[in-house]
Amino acid sequence: MRKSIKYIMTMATISAMAMTMTGCFGPETSKEYVTLNDYMMLHYTDDDGNEVTATSADGNEMAAVACDNEYVNKYAFEKDGDTYMDISGVKKYIDDRFYYDSTENTVMYTNATTIYTSPVGSNEVTGNTKENLDFTSSVMDGEICYVNLKYISKYIDFDYKYAKANGDKPAVVVVNTKSREDKNGTVKKNTQIRTDADYMADIVSDVKADTKLTILDKGDEWDKVATDDGVIGYILNKRVKVGKTTKVSYKNDYDTYTHNVLDKKISLAWHQVMYSSSNSGLSDMIKNAKGLNVISPTWFSVSDSKGEVSSIGSADYVKKAHSAGLDVWGLVSDFETDGNGDYYIKTVVNNTKARQKMVSNIMKYASLYDLDGINVDFEYINVSEGAGYLQFLRELSIECRKKGIVLSIDNYQPSAWTEFYDRNQQGRLADYVVVMNYDEHTTSSNEAGSVSSLTFTEEGLKNTIDEVGDASRVINGMPFYTRIWTETPEDESDGNGKLIEDAANGNYVLSTKAVSMDAAKEAYTEAGATPSYNEETGQNYVVYEKGSSTYMIWLEDETSVKARLELMNKYEIAGAGYWKLGLESDDIWNTISQYFK
């Protein structure tokens, strides 16, 4: 039966409408092309909302960088046939052990045994011997140091490729550092690579049939892929023929970082020595210290901006400690300042000559006093000194490794503002990483509280283990001191303390002082108060009134110390440290000794 022209016309109209809405009965598809400079991070908006564009002060053609198949906001360029990458990108994405000293204009690479130094713009490198390279190790572009990837590959196992610019596509440096299995693929018919696994995602690149791809991540409908010329994105997997899988692996030198680890749990006490004459009191300090096996006297301090280190050490002290069965780890601190109140360490770690002089001075004292180890306690490092601080630790670790003495490093609890301490690198460099698990509440706090509650301690310990990556070399630092807190109504206070505004109960002045275990007990006993166990903090707690003031103490005693030592066993860490010797009650050693037999 013949259909009417009207019927045929109607069906044709419906079909055309359907094709318009669905794209020939398929999903709606974007025909928009992404701006490649934005997509490849040559132009981006930073965390502060600033527009950043890759530029060269010296006229070099800036290339995007794809590291392990992700575009990153670091840059590179090709010069005289070699590929150079911004050193900040090298440190972040290839290996952090490269270090640029802007004062001396040198690039350094430090492994477990050797420091390699090369002046910027030179083909010379000095390690154990001087070597002339057949390429330039690094160059400056404006104020930014760029390192030759050929030079980096001399020490680090990775691969890279420079893909030249082509049309709208910028030049791309493809860097691979992680071992992987690459699935090879071939495009079956002309198609597009898109920014995301979505038909409406913008197009990154048109690709022709027979184009070779690496399939990075295989999905149900879309595969994440990379082309040989540095384009990364998503393609319909029905358009790709999957080929062979190639295994790619890279070696590292982590096993060359040997660790001088004691064959027992560490029970360490810091001994605060203020004057050289205080060394003679060691015997009295340790007479009841059952279970103690390491003592760390606070002898050394960075004393000027040129790397000098002052000492109040004593060879006789070390002999007495050894006779008592104790190892001695001399502590070096960064607490000294110049006439303007600036900490010397801030200058020293960022200057290679001063930094290496500091290392030499520390090792001189290690030999002079026959030390068993060095304990680094640098607490005034900020992000601007972070790279220099880590370089100091690398250089010091080499010398400690050569001498066969222990290197331990003290750290705050992990937090966003201490990321630059890089505990993961510390774990590789040092024999032990210490977390100072105290000062939860201090004189600057707006409320009274524990010096180190059990939840605070456990969180700091777990986070440190996660960052270090090896619980067996983490030491948990705990307090031998506590704080007496006082709250006094504002109108009855002498004004010493911090004013706390309290609309509900009235303003009050909060004050506190750090005291020993015995002093805390004496205070609440004299007041006739009785402690009770506080579940929230895992400590005994006491509160009492005197006049118009309220006093509160979260006690450090057998209960709190035992709870922390139980954490030592629970997480199978290296041991415990105590700040500081002399603040403990005599009987606390009975508790400690049960865990170190």
pLDDT exceeds cutoff 60 at 19: no
Q: What is the pLDDT of residue 100?
A: 98
pLDDT-derived band at 46 (thresholds 50, 70, 90) equals confident
* pLDDT at res. 5: 41
Instruction: Give the separation between CA 326 and CA 312, rounded to whole angstroms.
Output: 19
Tell how strand 575-579 and strand 474-479 pair up: parallel
Q: Provide the mean pLDDT of the chain.
A: 95
Q: Where are the alpha helices (DSSP H) in 266-328?
A: 282-286, 315-323
| pLDDT value, residue 15 | 47
Q: What is the 3-state secondary structure (H, E, C) of 473-505?
A: HEEEEEECEEEEEEEEEHHHCCCCCEEECCCCC
- The H-assigned helical ranges of 32-138 are 36-39, 87-93
Q: Is the dihedral of CA 187, 192, 194, 199 positive or negative?
A: negative
Average pLDDT over residues 409-424: 97
pLDDT at 202: 98
Say if residue 408's pLDDT is above 60.
yes
Which helix (H) or strand (E) covers residue 236, if one does? strand 232-236
Average pLDDT over residues 134-157: 98
CATH 2.30.30.40 is right for the domain spanning 179-248: yes
Residue 468 pLDDT exceeds 80: yes
pLDDT value at residue 36: 96
Q: Inform me whether the pLDDT recorded for 22 exceeds 50.
A: no
Average pLDDT over residues 195-210: 98
Structure confidence by residue, pLDDT tens digits, 274-298: 999 999 999 999 999 999 999 999 9
Q: Where are the beta strands (DSSP E) in 37-81?
A: 43-45, 51-53, 63-67, 70-79
Residue 8 has pLDDT above 50, yes or no: no
CA distance 159 to 446: 53
Residue 27 has what DSSP assignment?
A: -
Cβ contact 329:292 at 8 Å: no
Q: Name residue 230's amino acid.
A: G
Q: Which residue has the higher pLDDT, 5 or 126?
A: 126
pLDDT at 2: 41
Domain positions in the chain are: 36-163, 179-248, 267-480+556-593
- How far does the chain reach from its first CA to its final CA, in angstroms? 102
pLDDT at site 14:
46
pLDDT mean over 572-578:
99
Please, which pLDDT band fits residue 25 given cuts at 50, 70 and 90?
Answer: low
Q: Is the pLDDT of residue 497 over 60?
A: yes
Helix (H), strand (E) at residue 474: strand 474-479
In this structure, how many other beta carbons lie within 10 angstroms of the beta carbon of residue 266? 26
- For 224, the token pair is 């994440």
Is 267-480+556-593 in the same CATH topology as 179-248? Answer: no
Cβ atoms of residues 331 and 300 within 8 Å? yes
pLDDT confidence bin for 27, thresholds 50/70/90: confident
Task: Give CA separation, 222 vs 31, 201, 237, 476, in Å.
Answer: 17, 12, 5, 48
Confidence tier at 488 by pLDDT (50, 70, 90): very high
Do 267 and 592 meet the contact criterion of CB atoms below 8 Å apart? yes
Edge-to-edge strands, sheet with 240-248: 203-207, 191-194, 232-236, 222-227, 212-218, 180-187, 240-248
The pLDDT assigned to 52 comes to 86
Q: Which of 421, 478, 413, 409 is nearest to 450 (CA)?
A: 478
CATH number of this structure's domain 267-480+556-593: 3.20.20.80
Q: How far apart are CA 433 and CA 427, in angstroms?
A: 6
- Residue-wise pLDDT for 150-172, tens only, equals 999 999 999 999 999 999 999 99
